[in-house]
Chain A
């Protein structure tokens, strides 16, 4: 694990630290505020390099729907600036400190959010974090400061390294500045909460909402025994966000189509989706494992049944396409998660577990040989000496 902690004050300092590490051949553990260091595999590195001291919004043009901030800027600071102008980040990035047991750390940074590419409920209708990254500045493993993308919404000039860096967990480069596409926040919000018998019924209701023409921006399900912001499961939740007249009209149409529900409006709805975003209803206890599965929505009921049989509990988002699950941090639960993902053609990510399990098992589905070979070459193309977060995603990679 990490000994010495470096947090340079500027991008040049980050680049110098990477160059020094490359020359010495000593790996770096790369992080923002460190709230997600418990994800994936443990990194063996003598030093930690943090971007947390690179803070501040460097550009905000509301009418162009673009904002740029240095990597260490807390997401909540960016969201506060956007809120003042009636805008938001459409990917609704989560704050996973409670889920991951890192409540004592400072809030997540925009750099860490891009590096992990974890998106919240609005992903189903809006975009993933990676879809919103218009431009990046980053330091590659050779210590070079590079740019990809820019600040305009449409840009197909050259290879899209922004997407390659997004979700690469600091293994390909250290992100130093992020330019994001932002969106209007929607004047009003309301959620239709529809009690359902089980996951099969819940996914059917969510699918009905998402295949309606009413612009649903959240489609989640709390199972029996879980509760969020005063709404108790088993319940399917469909969210609307738009101008006031549209929200009122569409809520009426959805309620007519899916009877038996009740409306949760404004602040109640916001609190509910904050909880879902951060997966707090899972109430993961210290020592428990937490996983994230991305599947075809229609595969979710069977996946949840398999997870339950392994002693895990689960909540659904993205119409059933996202399963967040917590349970015993054992080989058996991990095997059940991996099997559920494999059996449905989906994917999984280990979000939290003791280091022994994280080091011993695949924390992501293993890649087919041709893809694994490609990943090794891509890693070498950006980080030739293999000093950035080695082993974070795959053993030896």
Chain B
């Protein structure tokens, strides 16, 4: 288990006073302090870690967030920002002496401009909610994390979320224009706006992916894009993961970049097929899902050239969708992968390292060896075009030894990702989950530099403490 810092006794002792102060700012039912009602906030998508906060506050405006921050800052209270709570790395895990600021009531779409190709939304609007607001005009918001039905744009900004289609359209950071940002002292700051490439330091880029370490985002201006005329997927099944890895390289080198290029290994294929009945070939060791965009004629031409590449590698089978419905069927298994694995194992840890794509065969082989050594099953599903792996390590949460081994197995996979030239996390964030592995990727002076930048925003280490930065270190957070 990953250690959390001890609560500040002087803050716990003033709990009632702090709750009353919050109620004075956010009236009605916007402050939660009853233990039973705090339970839904005790964890996020990393459900092995649970800790109810001291209180939850649900502001409904930027002004309320600013007033809450001024009050909490003045009282030295730790703050954990929260969107939908779908973080897979424990990014929204509370501390005992913290106040959770939940942004789900800030769910208004404030402005949409098609001529300027942007939308201004509050932080609690869901990822899919943005696309829903603009799809009538043929537009969409590009980053599409698997949790897009539930996850909120504020959380997407904080984690710099990706998704299956970021191979073509980029991640959250590449699709933002502006932020309304509340500092730890409760000042409201406008970053960027409706234009590209604001002058001055790139706070938009620095805040994106900062995991709540720098401040609270309350409004977001996103780019919206016109959808392509259509899209269609194909499946290609191969006899070994090595061969499928070579196919990925060959496609990427061909000059035709698909909008999505997804990879599943045998355990994942079987789990998804049992769950979704998508027609996946069960004799394959590796399956690729490849999607292209354009007019029907363009789709045909692109899929034909990709099929020709696949054919050079002796596929078990290839299947090109003939219609949008067949494409959906192909995607159905992949989109349900996490749920499918959840059906065959009581619990799983979803890892998120990135590797240079050329290292894929080596990394998959090593993960297979680790799986045997730990005695834990693993299913691999990942965004192959950009090397972002999602090994799903299956374990039994009722067995402490099984959980400990799963965490060690996960850490070994992430160390391997760094060893071959990759990184600890491609899109889920460091959170608490990977915090103590930061020293694997960064040298001490590099971590110190990041800490000093964090301190420029949050000198008292009140914002989302115990996440991202290891608790030890020369510049250890105050109170640790």
Chains A and B form a bound pair: yes
Whether A212 is near chain B, meaning CB under 8 Å from some CB there, is yes
* Residue A189 interfacial (CB < 8 Å): no
Q: Is B416 at the interface (CB under 8 A from chain A)?
A: no
A140 at the binding interface (Cβ < 8 Å): yes
* Contact yes or no, A374 B183, CB < 8 A: yes
- B196 and A378 contacting across the interface, CB-CB below 8 Å: no
B227 touches A346 (CB 8 A): no
Looking at the assembled complex, report how far the CB atom of B396 sits from the nearest CB atom of chain A, in whole angstroms.
Answer: 29
Contact present for A159 and B206 (CB under 8 Å): yes
Q: Among residues 414 to 457 in chain B, which have CB atoms less than 8 Å away from a CB atom of chain A? A: 421-430, 434, 438, 441-443, 445-447, 449-450, 452-457
A368 at the interface (CB under 8 A from B): yes
Q: Are B199 and A349 in contact (CB under 8 A)?
A: yes
Chain A residues 195-209 with CB under 8 Å of chain B are: 207
Which of chain A's residues have a CB closer than 8 A to the CB of B126? none
- The closest CB in chain B to the CB of A253 belongs to B295
**Which one of A117, A159, A295, A345 has the highest number of Cβ atoms from chain B below 10 Å of its Cβ?**
A159
Question: Assuming the A-B contacts A161-B449, A296-B113, A296-B195, are A131 and B255 also in contact, with contact meaning beta carbons closer than 8 angstroms in the complex?
Answer: no
Q: Which residues of A contact B456 (CB under 8 A)?
A: 374, 377-378, 380-381
Q: Are A161 and B453 in contact (CB under 8 A)?
A: yes
Chain B residues contacting A185 (CB-CB under 8 Å) are 255
Q: Does B408 contact A (CB under 8 A)?
A: no
A155 at the interface (CB under 8 A from B): yes
Distance in angstroms between the alpha carbons of A322 and B302 in the assembled complex: 33
The reply on A246 being an interface residue by CB < 8 A is: yes
With contacts A131-B173, A211-B226, A249-B297 taken as known, whether A371 is within 8 angstroms of B355 at the C-beta atoms is no
The residues of B that contact A124 with a CB separation of less than 8 Å are 196
In the complex, what residues of B have CB within 8 A of residue A52's CB?
none
Binds B, one of A58-66, A275-283, A308-316: A58-66
Check if B150 is an interface residue, CB within 8 A of chain A.
no
- Chain B residues within 8 Å of A375, by CB: 200-201
B356:A211 contact, CB within 8 angstroms: no
Are A156 and B159 in contact, with the CB atoms below 8 A? yes
Q: Which one of B115, B200, B255 lies within 8 Å of A184 (CB-CB)?
A: B255
Q: Would you call A160 an interface residue if the criterion is a C-beta within 8 Å of the partner chain's C-beta atoms?
A: yes
Is A148 interfacial (CB 8 A cutoff)?
yes
Q: Does A168 count as interface, using CB distance less than 8 angstroms?
A: yes
- Bound CA–CA A349/B196 (angstroms): 13
Interface string of B233-273 (1 = CB under 8 A from A): 00000000000000001101101110000000000000000
Given contacts A117-B202, A150-B421, A152-B426, contact A294 B174 (CB under 8 A): no
Q: Could you tell me if B256 and A184 are in contact, using CB atoms closer than 8 angstroms?
A: yes
- Known interface pairs A183-B257, A374-B457. Does A367 touch B171 (Cβ–Cβ under 8 Å)? no
Q: With both chains docked as a complex, state the minimum distance between the C-beta of A211 and any C-beta of chain B, in angstroms.
A: 5
Complex Cα spacing A146 to B198, Å? 26
Contact residues, B162-187 vs A (CB, 8 A) = 162, 166, 170-171, 173-174, 183, 187
Q: Given the known A-B contacts A158-B450, A211-B114, A321-B195, are A64 and B358 also in contact in the complex, defined by CB atoms under 8 Å?
A: yes
Given A127-B170, A158-B442, A246-B298, do A153 and B354 touch, yes or no (CB 8 Å)? yes
> With a CB–CB cut-off of 8 A, which chain B residues contact A187?
255
Instruction: Give the distance to chain B from A4, nearest Cβ to Cβ, in Å.
Output: 28
Does B218 have its Cβ within 8 Å of any Cβ on chain A?
A: no
A37 at the interface (CB under 8 A from B): no
Alpha-carbon distance A101/B376, docked complex (angstroms): 65
B contact residues around A158 at 8 Å (CB): 430, 438, 441-442, 447, 450, 468
Which B residues lie within 8 Å of A140 (CB)? 449
Of chain B, the residue at the smallest CB distance from A375 is B201
Q: Mark A168-207, 1 if CB is under 8 A from B, else 0.
A: 1000100000000001110100000000000000000001
A63 engages B253 (CB within 8 Å): yes
Residue A370 CB within 8 A of the other chain: yes
A167 proximal to B (CB < 8 A): yes
Could you say which of B171, B198, B228 contacts A213, with CB atoms under 8 Å apart? B228
Interface residue? B62 (CB, 8 A)? no
A215 beta carbon closer than 8 Å to chain B: yes
Q: Which of A164, A243, A347, A378 contacts B199 (CB 8 A)?
A: A347
Is there an interface contact between B301 and A243, defined as CB atoms closer than 8 Å? yes
In the complex the two chains form, is B445's CB within 8 Å of A144's CB? yes
B226 neighbours in A (Cβ, 8 Å): 210-213
> CA–CA, A318 to B197, complex, Å?
11
Q: In the complex, how many angstroms separate the beta carbon of B84 from the nearest chain A beta carbon?
A: 18
Residues in A with CB closer than 8 Å to B298 are 245-246, 249
Q: With A61-B358, A63-B358, A393-B200 in contact, do A155 and B453 touch (Cβ < 8 Å)?
A: no
Residue-wise interface mask of B (194-214) relative to A, using a CB-CB cutoff of 8 A (1 in contact, 0 not):
111111111111101110010
Which of B310-318, B320-328, B380-388 lies on the face that meets chain A? B380-388
Is B117 an interface residue, CB under 8 A from the partner?
yes
A84 and B389 CA atoms in complex are apart in Å by: 30
Do B117 and A210 touch across chains, with their CB atoms under 8 A apart?
Answer: yes
Enumerate chain B residues within 8 angstroms of A213, measured Cβ to Cβ.
138, 226-229
Q: Are A128 and B422 in contact (CB under 8 A)?
A: no
In the complex, what's the smallest C-beta–C-beta distance from B231 to chain A, in angstroms?
A: 11
On whether the beta carbons of B196 and A123 are closer than 8 Å, the reply is yes
Known: A167-B201, A207-B115. A154 touches B426 (CB 8 A): yes
Complex: A224 Cα to B191 Cα, angstroms: 35
Say whether B213 contacts A159, CB under 8 Å. Answer: yes
Cβ of B368 under 8 Å from chain A? no
- Asked if A364 CB lies within 8 Å of chain B CBs, one says yes
A375 CB to closest chain B CB, in angstroms?
6
CB contacts (< 8 Å) of B399 on chain A: these are: none
Of A124, A154, A367, A382, chain B has the most CB atoms within 10 Å of the CB of: A154
The interface residues of chain A lying within 8 Å CB-to-CB of B358 are 61, 63-64
Q: Find residues 278-318 in chain A having any chain B CB closer than 8 Å to their own CB.
A: 294-298, 318
Q: Do A159 and B450 contact each other (CB < 8 Å), given the known contacts A62-B253, A152-B355, A370-B187? A: yes
In the assembled complex, B160 has its CB within 8 A of some CB on chain A? yes
* B401 contacts chain A at the CB level, 8 A cutoff: no
Query: Which residue of chain B is the closest to A185 with respect to CB atoms?
Result: B255
Report the minimum CB–CB distance from B242 to chain A (whole Å).
Answer: 15
Determine if B190 is an interface residue (Cβ-Cβ < 8 Å): yes
* Chain A, residue nearest B214 (CB): A159
What are the 8 A-B residue pairs with the smallest beta carbon separation, nearest first? A163-B205, A154-B426, A377-B456, A153-B386, A63-B253, A184-B255, A381-B452, A364-B199
- A sample of 16 inter-chain contacts (CB < 8 A) reads A63-B357, A128-B197, A147-B442, A156-B160, A163-B173, A163-B202, A167-B201, A167-B202, A213-B228, A294-B197, A321-B116, A322-B196, A345-B194, A371-B189, A371-B203, A378-B201
Chain B residues engaging chain A, CB cutoff 8 angstroms: 113-118, 138-139, 159-160, 162, 166, 170-171, 173-174, 183, 187-191, 193-206, 208-210, 213, 226-229, 249-250, 252-253, 255-257, 294-295, 297-298, 301-302, 354-358, 383, 386-388, 421-430, 434, 438, 441-443, 445-447, 449-450, 452-457, 468
Supplied contacts A160-B209, A374-B183, 9 more A-B pairs, CB within 8 Å: A64-B387, A147-B443, A150-B421, A152-B423, A155-B354, A157-B430, A159-B468, A167-B202, A364-B199
